[in-house]
Structure 1
Amino acid sequence: MASVERQHGRQLRRYLAARLRNAAADAPDLMQEVFLRLLRLEDHESIRNPQAYLYTIASHVLQQHALKQAHAPQLAATAEMAFEFSPVAEVDPATEVATEQAFEVIDRSLQAISPRAHLTLVLSRCHGMPLQEIAGRLGVSRAQVKKYLAKALIHVRDHLREIDQEQP
């Protein structure tokens, strides 16, 4: 394992830093994640090409990092949009609390779906982004984006039905 780091560590750092662009400070953390994943592998001898395997892991780590980075601002933006559209006039405090709790419940509910499905829902419904553009951003087909969106919408619908049934 140490030999893999000695042989490919410097190149891997450059690879990660180049793909992170503005977030190059995340490169050491991602590099650590790559090597942790490599350590979790039980049979290192079965790897025919350690460099290719290492870069495959790095690509997956970068993709997950990009999804997390794209996912976090979208959640914050969704919350900000919800508060922007709340009326400024006198609001019944009980209604305001109930609305805030409903948003929290929906947000927790959305955590149960895949990050890609959640991001697709936010980009499509909150930002009005076309499905083809979302597909390009996620690196998947338009048909897959439609599946993500359908999954997210069904999840939200079912969750809202459960909430309605729980209320007296």
Structure 2
Amino acid sequence: MTDAATAKQQSLHTLYRDHHSWLQNWLRRQLGNTWDAADLSQDTFIRVLTSSQTVAEIREPRAYLLTVGKRLLNTFYARRSLEQAYMDALQQLPQEVTPSPEQRWALLETLQALDELLDGLPLGVRRAFLWSQLEGVGYREIAARLEVSERTVKRYMAQAYEHCLLMEL
């Protein structure tokens, strides 16, 4: 191992040792349970490890960790909300067409991947894209639902397609 790699590893170890318990306790208070807090705490340090910013560049470690932790917490809540909406929708289905647990898992993973892919798009753009692609709704009806012009819907769709293409690169 080179001296630079050793120094990087040592600074990450110091950051983890000095701030892990604090971060995990903060996350536990936000989440109300230790297990999810432990997972998000580890995910936070993995983000730090894979970040383009070096640990030595972090001037305010707790503020930095808190920012990363809050972002992960928001993602966690969004995922949980999506899972709940999916489970609620499944309960509305007749028993004979309810997917198996394996199918549910695959569908939920797909929904989460789609949600992550569309993350960052304005709500109207997301809705237009999802109505068009998942429900087959035409631009005229989307325009009526969103109370915008068809031309705006076309711009929304172009924006969504461009976003998806750029995210795939």
Q: TM-score, normalised by structure 2?
A: 0.56
CA 1:111–1:4 in structure 2 vs 1: closer, same or farther (change >3 Å)?
Answer: closer
CA 1:36–1:147 in structure 2 vs 1: closer, same or farther (change >3 Å)?
Answer: same
CA 1:82–1:28 in structure 2 vs 1: closer, same or farther (change >3 Å)?
Answer: same
Which position in structure 1 is the counterpart of 2:61?
Answer: 50
Which position in structure 1 is the counterpart of 2:50?
Answer: 40
- Residue by residue, what CA displacement relative to the aligned partner does 1:114-145 show, whole Å, maximum 9, x if unpaired? 25979xxxxxxxxxxxxxxxxxxxxx9xx943
Q: Which of 133, 139, 163 matches 1:155?
A: 133
Q: Indicate yes or no: 2:32 matched with 1:31.
A: no
CA 1:115–1:41 in structure 2 vs 1: closer, same or farther (change >3 Å)?
Answer: closer
Structure 1 residue runs without a partner (length 5+): 87-95, 119-139, 160-168
Q: In 2, are the aligned partners of 1:116 and 1:148 still within 8 Å (CA)?
A: no
Query: Following the alignment from structure 1 to structure 2, what is the Cα–Cα distance between the partners of residues 17 and 116?
Result: 28
SS in 2 for 1:48: coil
Identical counterparts, % of pairs: 24
Query: Following the alignment from structure 2 to structure 1, what is the Cα–Cα distance between the partners of residues 28 and 44?
Result: 13
Query: Following the alignment from structure 2 to structure 1, what is the Cα–Cα distance between the partners of residues 61 and 112?
Result: 35
Query: Following the alignment from structure 2 to structure 1, what is the Cα–Cα distance between the partners of residues 31 and 39?
Result: 12
The CA deviation at 1:36 is 0.9
Q: TM-score, normalised by structure 1?
A: 0.56
Query: Following the alignment from structure 2 to structure 1, what is the Cα–Cα distance between the partners of residues 44 and 62?
Result: 12
Q: In 2, are the aligned partners of 1:12 and 1:31 still within 8 Å (CA)?
A: yes
Q: How does 1:1-168 map to 2 (within 5 A)?
A: 1-21=12-32, 23-42=33-52, 43-83=54-94, 110=111, 113-114=114-115, 144-158=122-136
CA 1:20–1:110 in structure 2 vs 1: closer, same or farther (change >3 Å)?
Answer: closer
CA 1:47–1:67 in structure 2 vs 1: closer, same or farther (change >3 Å)?
Answer: same
Q: In 1, are the aligned partners of 2:44 and 2:72 still within 8 Å (CA)?
A: yes
Query: Which stretches of structure 1, 4 residues or longer, exceed 4 Å deviation after superposition?
Result: 107-112, 115-118
Q: CA RMSD in A?
A: 3.5
CA 1:14–1:110 in structure 2 vs 1: closer, same or farther (change >3 Å)?
Answer: closer
CA 1:49–1:116 in structure 2 vs 1: closer, same or farther (change >3 Å)?
Answer: same
Structure 2 residue runs without a partner (length 5+): 1-11, 138-169
CA 1:15–1:37 in structure 2 vs 1: closer, same or farther (change >3 Å)?
Answer: same
Aligned residues: 119
Q: In 1, are the aligned partners of 2:24 and 2:41 still within 8 Å (CA)?
A: yes
The CA deviation at 1:110 is 4.9
